Amino acid sequence: MSATVKTLVNQPYKYGFVTDIEADTIPRGLNEDVIRLISAKKNEPEFMLEFRLRAYRQWLKMTEPTWPSVKYPAIDYQNISYYSAPKQNKQKLNSLEEVDPTLLETFEKLGIPLTEQKRLANVAVDAIFDSVSVATTFKEKLAKDGVIFCSISEALQEYPELVKKYLGSVVPIADNFFAALNSAVFSDGSFVYIPKGVKSPMELSTYFRINSGDTGQFERTLIVAEEGSYVSYLEGCTAPMYDNNQLHAAVVELVALDNAEIKYSTVQNWYAGDVNGKGGIYNFVTKRGLCQGVNAKISWTQVETGSAITWKYPSCVLVGDNSVGEFYSVALTNNMQQADTGTKMIHIGENTRSTIISKGISAGKSSNSYRGLVKINPTAQGARNYSQCDSMLIGDNAQANTFPYIQVQNNTGKVEHEASTSKIGEDQLFFFAQRGISSEDAISMMISGFCKDVFNQLPMEFAVEADKLLSLKLEGSVG
Amino acid sequence: MILENSQVILSVRDLTAEINGNPILQGVNLEVRLGEIHAIMGPNGSGKSTFSKVLAGHPAYTVTGGEVIFQGQNLLEIAAEERARAGIFLAFQYPLEIPGVSNLDFLRVAYNSRRQAQGLPELDAFDFDDLIEEKLDVVKMNPAFLSRSLNEGFSGGEKKRNEILQMALLEPKLAILDETDSGLDIDALRIIANGVNQLTNSENATIMITHYQRLLNYIVPDFVHVMSQGRIVTSSGKELALELEARGYDWLVEDAAVGVGV
């Protein structure tokens, strides 16, 4: 890689600051007492503690998956603190005015203003700091339409029946090693409930911030869309720069009933570690949506730019007849980052359809793998899938892999798969330069073009953000 | 055309350059004046394409000696994009395919970066559409090519036409055409040559790099140079091209080898 390319890709991470705030952090280590303590701190109903303990006992019997194309030293699960919350004067806050100003400032610095005067006009935000939700905006306005948008801790207090009904219904507690761990120790996350026939009047969004250095973050998100409802939800994430690695193991469950639609977008920008691969977040996440009803639709859009390691496969289980699953992904890796990401589309109902558009960009010495499964079950008469997996290599030292798995058990199924590999190297940049176009502009044009099909799926204000984020991440990487 | 008292726009003196430690250019000398068309011919591996890339500032080549003065400016001191903005244009032998970037966007950004360098305001999308419409005519290109990705899925001839379209748009002071005739059928060659002829005038100059005399029937050079082993060994008028066509390069190359010995 020439010097120009290098300076272009290697922009400093601008969210790497640490907020100095007094926190209530429990000692490191994990056992049943720790789980009881977490549950007690959150004053949870009995069923929740049982759920956690069952998950923990399952987890003890499980082993970490070794099949992903990622390498990292063994994680010592006893050397992590499983709960950290900024100290608040009051147990329950009645309004945003009572939130510690330091926290509000932190989110403002991250570009997520929460206060009444400054907050985003048409986006409701749930802000999560380490293990707890600090604020949710526009709650009352949403409540007028019957939309519930709050932290999952609050939902457990206010709507325990709803949580009990759906929690673990899409991702069972023993689904995989990290999902079991999350089910045992999750601390907070967002809960969304859209009642029958309601179209959410605004975008809902959760912003995750890891602050503490040795705490794992385990959030849990649950979104339920009743018959004929619609919601668009977006999550964003950042973390400070630490030399050690931090574990982030989240679970997201989506349930769409008859004719309901959930659009779930992610812009993931966790700290990725330094150029030598020191530090950064281990992002081991289970995301799955269940199209339970007929004509239901779940659409995942993700822009993955951060984390030292990404292990994540947002999936759709298409049970309802004519239901639709979509996955649009841009995964960018640079320096020593490793990503093994993709999707699973499980066709069960008749005439179910799925689309997969995956764009992997690898720069530096990073490794970027797409791993996806398309499964057409015997019952899925007339099911269709279209997959497109494109890789772009920047410089000469990066790696891109594609692992598509296709299982068809019904001979009326139709599955298409397309793949391509392209490159941004010296010759491409010289071509642009020879026409008077700078390397920065050239890279940004090529990357925008490459990612266009995915960015078009993002809510507009975030599409612009994502475009900028990618250019920034790649600044200095080609030359 | 050879003009009396015409200004020298490019002056190359004892230029040497290497790639990965292998010397390719071993002392090139060349002077180009406004209004002139120069043809550089020579066998494979003689350094013709390298010469064009070194003039345009390709980062893979290292200049080890000599100088290049372009319109009074030391060209070797500035980066490739600045050379382009100063008026140097290279029509590539193998134009790259760039998926996802529309031809029209590429042309507009390139054109505006040139305008910016000249201290002119950028052209907006509407004015640019009118301008490009005019330029398409130079190479008889179908407007449908504008909305496609840059060179993606273009035939060899379409790619070369697209290069000349860029030349028509950017109106360079010095155009270097690197084997623009290679891979073209006779009709495409005629269209492209016709396009280039419309663009040459007393205010610019052209260097054509080619293996064959064929192109020179359509774009008539004022000078023909023969390159061998990284230097220009013979220069003459257009009649040299015909002689090369009849006799091949060997007689000149042998002379050059003797010359090196001296």
Q: Which burial class, exposed, middle or buried, applies to A378 when counting CB atoms under 10 A from its CB (0-12, 13-18, 19+)?
A: exposed
* ipTM beyond cut 0.85: yes
Question: Is A430–B149 a contact, with Cβ atoms under 8 angstroms apart?
Answer: no
Helix (H, G, I), strand (E, B) or coil at A51: helix
What are the residue ranges spanned by the domains of chain A? 18-427
> Closest Cα partner for B128 from B102, B90, B149?
B102
**Which residues of chain A are at the B interface, by a Cβ-Cβ cutoff of 8 Å?**
2, 4, 420, 422, 426-428, 430-439, 441, 445-446, 448-450, 452, 479
Q: Measured between CA atoms, how close is A394 to chain B, in angstroms?
A: 14
Residue of A nearest to B152 (CA): A422
Residues A259 and A266: their CA atoms lie apart, in Å, by 23
Look at A269 and B91; give whichever has higher pLDDT: B91
Residues A332 and A368: their CA atoms lie apart, in Å, by 8
Which of A424, A434, A437, A456 to mutate against chain B (most B CBs within 10 Å)? A434
Mean pLDDT lowest among A6-10, A142-146, B40-44: A6-10
Give the pLDDT confidence score for residue B128 in this predicted structure.
Answer: 93
Residues B12 and B64: their CA atoms lie apart, in Å, by 14
The length of chain A is 479
pLDDT tens digits along A12-46: 676 767 777 667 778 888 999 999 999 998 899 99
Cβ contacts from A onto B, under 8 A: 73
Indicate the residue of A426, A433, A449 with minimum beta-carbon distance to B101. Answer: A449
Mean pLDDT lowest among A186-190, A407-411, B193-197, B199-203: A186-190
Q: How far is CA A328 from CA A200, A311, A314, A317, A353, in A?
A: 22, 16, 10, 16, 14
Are A321 and A350 contacting, i.e. CB atoms less than 8 angstroms apart?
yes
pLDDT tens digits along A365-404: 889 999 999 999 999 999 999 999 999 998 888 999 999 9
Give the pLDDT confidence score for residue B262 in this predicted structure.
Answer: 33
A102-112 CB burial, b ≥16 within 10 A, e <16 = ebbebbeebeb
Residues B197 and B187: their CA atoms lie apart, in Å, by 15
Residues B8 and A391: their CA atoms lie apart, in Å, by 47
Residues on chain A touching B178 (C-beta within 8 angstroms): none
Residue written as token pair 């400032």: A105
DSSP string spanning A149-195?
A: EEEHHHHHHH-HHHHHHHTTSSS-TTSSHHHHHHHHH--B-EEEEE-
Question: Is A430–B102 a contact, with Cβ atoms under 8 angstroms apart?
Answer: no
Look at A452 and B23; give whichever has higher pLDDT: B23
Q: In what order do the strands lie in the sheet with B231-236?
A: B88-91, B174-178, B205-209, B37-41, B223-228, B231-236
Question: Is A436–B114 a contact, with Cβ atoms under 8 angstroms apart?
Answer: yes
Tell me what the pLDDT averaged over chain A comes to. 85
Which of B90, B109, B116, B177 to mutate against chain A (most A CBs within 10 Å)? B109
Residues on chain A touching B109 (C-beta within 8 angstroms): 437, 441, 445
Residue of B nearest to A451 (CA): B100
DSSP string spanning B135-192?
A: HHGGGT--GGGGSSEETTT--HHHHHHHHHHHHHHH--SEEEEESTTTT--HHHHHHH
Q: Measured between CA atoms, how close is B262 to chain A, in angstroms?
A: 38
Look at A464 and A81; give whichever has higher pLDDT: A81
Give the pLDDT confidence score for residue A2 in this predicted structure.
Answer: 41
Helix (H, G, I), strand (E, B) or coil at A16: coil
Q: Band the pLDDT of A74: cuts 50, 70, 90.
A: confident
> Closest Cα partner for A21 from A101, A133, A113, A81?
A101
Q: Band the pLDDT of A422: cuts 50, 70, 90.
A: confident
Are A314 and A299 contacting, i.e. CB atoms less than 8 angstroms apart?
no
- Pick out chain B residues at pLDDT < 50: 258-262
Q: Measured between CA atoms, how close is A180 to chain B, in angstroms?
A: 41
CATH entry 3.40.250.10 includes domain B8-96+172-261: no
Give the pLDDT confidence score for residue A3 in this predicted structure.
Answer: 43
